[in-house]
Every structure is written in C-alpha cells, then in structure tokens.
Amino acid sequence: MTMKFRTLKASIVAILGLAAAGRFRVVGYKQRGVAAEEIVGQLRTVQVFFTGGKFPKAAGSHLGPVMHDVTIKVDLSAAKAAEGDLVALTDPSSTPAEFAAALSSFREAADMADDSLDELGDIVFQILMDGRNLDLGMGAGNVSPHWIENFDKQGPTARGEYVVMSGSLDLTCRVSEELLGDAGVAADHVLGAVLADVETNMPDSVGADPAPAGIRAGGITP
C-alpha cells in the first residue's frame, strides 16, 4: 500500500493538470487531446515536489496510525522571449551599444516574465485553495485542511533567447499514515533468523567463556 504523501503529490498534479486549461503546463501530467502547440501557456510550467514531512511522536503510535505533517512545494516558472541578442550581455567583445541594446531587451523581457509569473502564481493559488479542492482529491477525512504558507520568487535569468522568472508555493497539510510493515519480508522469518543466530553463537557448556554470548543479528556485537 502506497503511503498517503505519495498519493497526495499525484493528486495535486492531477488537480493542477485538469484545471490548467492551456494556461500553463504541469510537468508529469499527461495532457489528453491537446497538442503541445495549442497550449498558450507553454512557456509557463508548474512542477510538484514532496520536500519533506514530520512525524510528531505525540500524534501517533508505534503500531500506527502515524500523523504525517507534509510539505509540498509547487515550483513555478515563466519565460518571455527577448527582442534582442542576450549573448551581448556576457560577451566581453560586445560594443557599448550592443551591450546597452541587450540590457534593454533583457529588462523588457524580464518585466513581462515577472507579470506572467505573478499571474501564474495567482492562478495556481486559487486552484489549490478552491473550496472544491478542500480534500485535495484524497476524499473526505483523509487530509487536514491545507494551507499555502508562502509564495517566493527568484530571477530573472537569461537562458538563450529567453528570460526566465521562477517561484514556488509551499503547501502544508496533515495526513494519517498506516503502518502495515514491509510486505517483502515476513515477520516470522526475521524472528526465526534471529533465534537461529543466537543458538549458533551460544558457547559450549564445557570450557565456555562465562560472559554472556553476543548476539550478532542486526549489527549488535559482543
């Protein structure tokens, strides 16, 4: 059984992908019935990452369930093509006129990319905080009310003929994880192996070292 934080990430990707409506592209979401060239927001991308979680000891038990405070990062990027040649910005042989023209083009494209990223952040925020997505597609009672804690931005940076602005939203929520054990190794098999190792390493009764025998299973040594 897949842990819920993994299901949650996939569910958020699906929610954003279904709501994108050509305004942006979601990395990892399989677009159905829409050619890439028909997506107006091709230069705006969204990618979802699970960046970490905490398991408060006071909110769980060793046999489960365990409360999992999850943080999901939604990375955003927007790009705009520059009018001029941006290579002149880093080319030491550029003339002052070429550098000035490239700098002006960079600033114009950066301003447009910044506006585009702001709009993208607005759209994604509204999608994720929409009351219809209160359970983030996980079903009622499977996830605590989520919250977007911040919207950070970085950039702009020149990449080829484009100027790129990047940003991210941090979404937090709590899910309950079941402790079902590892299906690949049966518990009775592990216990039997430990007991067999203990028996193998017991000293003979005659001439034995009076000190207790060591148990080497699990990395415990005398």
Q: What is the pLDDT of residues 174-214, one digit of tens each?
A: 999 888 877 776 656 656 665 666 566 666 655 555 554 44
State the average pLDDT over residues 82-107.
86
How would residue 39 be classed by pLDDT, with cut points 50, 70 and 90?
very low
Identify the pLDDT of residue 93: 84
| Contact present, 60 and 19 (Cβ < 8 Å) | no
Query: Is the pLDDT assigned to residue 159 strictly greater than 90?
Result: no
Q: Which CATH class is domain 4-177?
A: alpha beta
| Contact present, 7 and 138 (Cβ < 8 Å) | yes
Average pLDDT of every residue of the chain? 82
Q: How far apart are CA 180 and CA 1, in angstroms?
A: 8
How large a percentage of the chain has pLDDT more than 90? 43
Identify the pLDDT of residue 185: 60
| Contact present, 147 and 171 (Cβ < 8 Å) | yes
Residue given tokens 């990375």 in the structure block: 75
Q: How far apart are CA 194 and CA 215, in angstroms?
A: 8
How large a percentage of the chain has pLDDT more than 70? 77
Nearest to 74 by CA among 171, 155, 166, 160: 171
Per-residue H/E/C for 52-104? EEECCHHHECCCCCEEEEEEEEEEEEEEEECCCCHHHHCCCCCCHHHHHHHHH
Radius of gyration of the chain (CA): 28
Sequence ranges of the domains in the chain: 4-177, 187-219
Which region holds residue 215: left if phi is over 0, alpha if psi is between -120 and 50, else beta? beta
Identify the pLDDT of residue 196: 67
Higher pLDDT, 85 or 133: 133
